[in-house]
């Protein structure tokens, strides 16, 4: 995180005291408390589909603690997060990448909840189990077009990627250095769809969030390093990106602040880790 979460929360509390008479409107509803001070209201999160699982897990755990709170999680890609927060249709934006300059980063408070690897996936029956970073770049930029060039079958390589607004795509292309040269046979609008497309096609290769991996696909090692949580945590696996929650700068309501405090609590960090994401405990 650019600022410690504790400092951000203390600053936000101080500001809320100063502006106690003001009514902050974030998202579609306002936060209320009952006579016992219990939280109630609705909170909306939207953006990255890669963050859907961990965000839903955090939301469900928070709602169990606060039965009068309703949290909805949605999204069609990281690009939706900043737009929704700015429009007031979401309290929290979800991004599986950093904010772009064009998205006005200074207009948001940013919370890195953890780090996720970008796993490069192939069909389980593929004989190719590893690639170098340079080979990966050549595959996704169309310089290598046949699996036989990589020790596989004599068959055309079909690259499956995400849509332009995807944080996974943005992180992948930036790390592999193919932002201007990437070429795809298919573009899918969610992590699950990429995984399904690769699992159904022996000649396909794609990329998904490490936290979404299952037995339907095989993750390749890159430069001799396996895509694992341990290797993401150590920094040895280079294809990794932040999982980011954002709110409007200095305008966070009580319910959103309480939820973010929960995310960075011991219970929240455990949920993040259990979901296959390396938690940001700094």
Are residues 92 and 160 located together in one domain of the fold? no
Identify which has the larger pLDDT, 180 or 32. Answer: 180
Whether residue 229 sits in one domain with residue 121: yes
pLDDT score, position 37: 63
Q: What is the spatial distance between Cα 22 and Cα 40, in angstroms, rounded to a whole number?
A: 19
Same domain, yes or no, for 130 and 109?
no
Same domain, 14 and 37: yes
pLDDT, average across residues 214-226? 97
My answer on whether 110 and 248 are in the same domain is yes
Residue 271 lies in domain: 5-116+242-279
Query: 112 and 216: one domain?
Result: no
- The neighbour count for residue 130, using CB atoms within 10 Å, is 15
**Higher local confidence (pLDDT), 24 or 64:** 64
Crossing angle of helices 254-263 and 266-274, in 10° steps, is 60
Judge if 104 and 139 occupy the same domain: no
Q: What is the pLDDT of residues 51-61, one digit of tens each?
A: 999 999 999 99
11 and 77 part of one domain: yes
pLDDT of residue 16: 35
Same domain, 132 and 108: no
Judgement on whether residues 60 and 37 belong to the same structural domain of the protein: yes
Query: pTM of the prediction?
Result: 0.76
Q: Are both 109 and 246 inside the same structural domain?
A: yes
Specify whether 127 is located in the same domain as 67.
no
**Average pLDDT score, the chain:** 88
Q: What is the pLDDT of residue 117?
A: 94
User: Where residue 251 falls among pLDDT bands split at 50, 70, 90?
Assistant: confident
pLDDT tens profile 96-140: 999 999 999 999 999 999 999 999 999 999 999 999 999 999 999
Q: Which CATH number characterizes residue 177's domain?
A: 3.40.190.10
For 163-177, write each residue's pLDDT tens digit: 998 999 999 999 999
> How many domains are contained in the chain?
2
């Amino acid at each position: 995180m650019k600022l410690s979460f504790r400092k951000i929360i203390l600053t936000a509390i101080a500001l809320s005291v100063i502006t106690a008479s003001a009514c902050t409107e974030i998202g579609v509803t306002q936060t209320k408390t009952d006579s016992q001070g219990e939280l109630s209201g609705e909170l909306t999160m939207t953006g990255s589909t890669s963050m859907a699982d961990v965000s839903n897990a955090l939301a469900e755990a928070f709602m169990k603690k606060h039965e009068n709170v309703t949290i909805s999680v949605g999204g069609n890609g990281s690009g939706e997060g900043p737009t929704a927060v700015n429009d007031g249709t979401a309290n929290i934006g979800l991004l599986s990448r950093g904010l772009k300059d064009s998205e006005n980063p200074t207009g948001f408070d940013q919370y890195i909840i953890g780090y996720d690897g970008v796993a490069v996936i192939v069909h389980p029956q593929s004989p190719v189990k590893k690639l170098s970073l340079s080979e990966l770049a050549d595959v996704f930029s169309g310089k290598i077009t046949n699996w036989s060039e990589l020790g596989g079958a004599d068959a055309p390589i079909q690259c499956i990627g995400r849509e332009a607004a995807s944080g996974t795509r943005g992180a992948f292309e930036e790390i592999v250095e193919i932002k201007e040269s990437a070429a795809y046979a298919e573009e899918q609008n969610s992590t699950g769809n990429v995984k399904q497309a690769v699992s159904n096609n022996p000649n396909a290769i794609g990329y998904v969030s490490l936290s979404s991996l299952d037995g339907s696909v095989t993750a390749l090692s890159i430069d001799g390093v396996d895509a694992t949580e341990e290797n993401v945590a150590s920094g040895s696996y280079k294809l990794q990106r932040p999982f980011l929650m954002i709110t409007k700068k200095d305008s966070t309501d009580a319910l959103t602040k309480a939820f973010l405090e929960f995310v960075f609590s011991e219970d929240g960090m455990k949920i993040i880790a259990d979901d296959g994401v390396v938690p940001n405990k700094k």
